[in-house]
């Protein structure tokens, strides 16, 4: 009985991986069209289906930064805290840690997803401000 369960579980995992890969590919197409909110939704679905999918954290970071950049404060100013994903009350250490995390994920030499360079520039500016 346990062999049957293990075999069906492996088949389900493989099915999930295939669906996750397909979903991730669609998300990449959305990113190339600058539809980052839709790409984020698809990337999150791919993550739920198969969390170990390659480069998914990089894709999610790019999409999350671009979606956060849509939030504005006082008219046209970016919400830099939202971009770097910290609370407004965050201390310098927390901001620095979050910046380093995103810098590693988004650096153009390591992340080739569409929008990664622009997202990297946004977090650099958020850290500077």
Would you say residue 108 has pLDDT above 70? yes
pLDDT by residue (tens digit) across 16-51? 999 999 999 999 999 999 999 999 999 999 999 999
Q: Which two tokens stand for residue 118?
A: 């622009």
Residues in the chain: 129
Q: Which two tokens stand for residue 38?
A: 């839709």
Residue 3 is predicted with a pLDDT of 55
Sorted by sequence, the CB contacts under 8 Å of residue 53 that are 6+ apart come out as: 17, 20, 21, 24, 46, 47
Residue with tokens 């622009």: 118
Residue 5 is predicted with a pLDDT of 45
Rg of the chain, C-alpha, whole Å: 17
Residue of 44 and 77 predicted with greater confidence = 44
Grade residue 7 by pLDDT with cuts at 50, 70 and 90. Answer: very low
Domains, in order of start, for the chain: 2-128 (1.10.287.110)
Residue 9 is predicted with a pLDDT of 53
């Amino acid at each position: 009985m346990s062999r049957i369960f293990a075999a069906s579980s492996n088949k389900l995992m493989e099915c999930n991986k295939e669906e996750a890969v397909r979903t991730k590919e669609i998300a990449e197409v959305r990113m190339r069209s600058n539809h980052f909110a839709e790409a984020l939704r698809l990337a999150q679905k791919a993550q739920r289906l198969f969390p170990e999918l390659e480069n998914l954290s990089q894709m999610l970071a790019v999409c999350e930064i671009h979606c956060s950049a849509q939030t504005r404060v006082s008219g046209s100013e970016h919400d830099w805290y939202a971009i770097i994903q910290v609370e407004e009350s965050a201390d310098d250490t927390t901001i620095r840690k979050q910046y380093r995390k995103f810098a590693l994920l988004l650096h153009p030499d390591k992340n080739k997803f569409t929008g990664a360079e622009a997202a990297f520039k946004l977090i650099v500016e958020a850290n500077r401000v």
